[in-house]
């Protein structure tokens, strides 16, 4: 399936009928927007003994990711529509996540509690995650994957491709990091631009929106329930006692079949 959440797009493979043998090479080939399908992340659905299903995420460079909020919402919406249920539980590398039908075509996912200590992000050494010793004093947050949120006066003026590439590989982040450029529009509204680890500039990202909202609340810049305006549209983030809930729209674009010739070309 090809799906997207606010333009943050995914290829979703269902492996519940049998192992698919997904490799980094296949992920990179599918991610090619000229010779493959094109995506920000690849999602593989599998069965799970203790949850409704299990999700594995690949970035467009073939690396894996522990979390992908918008992809989780997309799969949740598809499964809830398919089964007629209003909620389900999905296992990811970052833990078991709960999803709910939020009504009016919206889907909510609890991304779990944020990791606020240096080891949970993770960072390379012990330090306060609220203001890192990096120019701009960004905030580090773990949301099943690492995040670095920079607060700026005008997010539109930041040259995101150069800026994001520079900080993704900062030595403080041993697993690389997602990079967020965040502008506070109001006490309950943020403007967010995104560089995703392993994918580059994306129109939206659920985990990045959650990390930015948590960072803003920790710094006393916003309340704990905010609208986050990305290049692709708005997500609503609510940091509550049971975790960080993310709500927004999803879209199922098409279903497809990979040809034998394509799979042979990439060695799959």
Is 71 found in the same domain as 8? Answer: yes
- 95 inside domain: yes
Is 208 found in the same domain as 145? Answer: yes
DSSP 87-144: EEEEEETTEEEEEEEEETTEEEEE----B-STTTTT-SS---SSS-SSTT--EEEESS
Is 172 found in the same domain as 104? Answer: no
- Classify residue 262 as exposed, middle or buried by CB count within 10 Å of its CB (0-12, 13-18, 19+): middle
Please write the tens of the pLDDT for every residue from 102-152.
999 999 999 999 999 999 999 999 999 999 999 999 999 999 999 999 999
Q: How far is CA 250 from CA 151, 232, 268, in A?
A: 28, 12, 29
Is 255 found in the same domain as 200? Answer: no
pLDDT band at 267 (very low <50, low <70, confident <90, very high): confident
Q: Token pair of 67, please?
A: 């979390």
Q: Is the pLDDT of residue 268 over 80?
A: no
pLDDT band at 19 (very low <50, low <70, confident <90, very high): confident
- 131 inside domain: no
- 134 inside domain: no
Exposure b/e, 46-84, CB count within 10 A at least 16 = b: eeeeebbbbbbbbbbebbebbbbbbbbbbbbbbbbeeee
- Classify residue 89 as exposed, middle or buried by CB count within 10 Å of its CB (0-12, 13-18, 19+): middle
Position 22 scores a pLDDT of: 92
Q: Which domain holds residue 15?
A: 2-110+250-265
Please write the tens of the pLDDT for every residue from 86-114.
999 999 998 899 999 999 999 999 999 99
């Amino acid at each position: 399936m090809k799906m997207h959440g606010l333009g943050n797009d995914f290829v979703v493979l269902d492996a519940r009928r049998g192992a698919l043998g997904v490799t980094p090479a296949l992920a990179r080939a599918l991610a090619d927007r000229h010779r493959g399908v094109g995506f920000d992340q690849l999602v593989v659905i599998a069965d799970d003994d203790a949850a409704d299903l299990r999700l594995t995420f690949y970035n467009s460079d073939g690396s894996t990711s522990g979390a992908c909020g918008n992809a989780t919402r997309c799969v949740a919406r598809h499964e809830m529509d398919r089964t007629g249920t209003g909620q389900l539980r999905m296992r990811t590398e970052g833990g078991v996540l709960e999803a709910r039908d939020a009504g009016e075509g919206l889907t909510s996912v609890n991304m779990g509690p944020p990791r606020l200590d240096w080891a949970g992000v993770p960072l390379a050494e012990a330090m306060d995650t609220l203001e890192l010793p990096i120019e701009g004093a960004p905030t580090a947050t773990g949301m099943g994957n690492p995040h670095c949120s920079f607060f700026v006066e005008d997010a539109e003026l930041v040259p995101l491709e150069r800026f994001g590439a520079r900080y993704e590989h900062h030595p403080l982040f041993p697993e690389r990091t997602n990079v967020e450029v965040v502008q506070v529009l109001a006490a309950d509204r943020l403007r967010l631009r995104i560089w995703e680890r392993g994918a580059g500039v994306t129109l939206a990202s659920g985990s990045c929106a959650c990390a930015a909202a948590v960072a803003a609340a920790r710094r006393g810049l916003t309340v704990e329930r905010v609208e986050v305006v990305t290049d692709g549209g708005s997500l609503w983030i609510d940091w509550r006692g049971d975790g960080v809930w993310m709500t927004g729209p999803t879209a199922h674009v098409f279903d497809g079949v990979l040809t034998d010739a394509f799979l042979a070309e990439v060695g799959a």
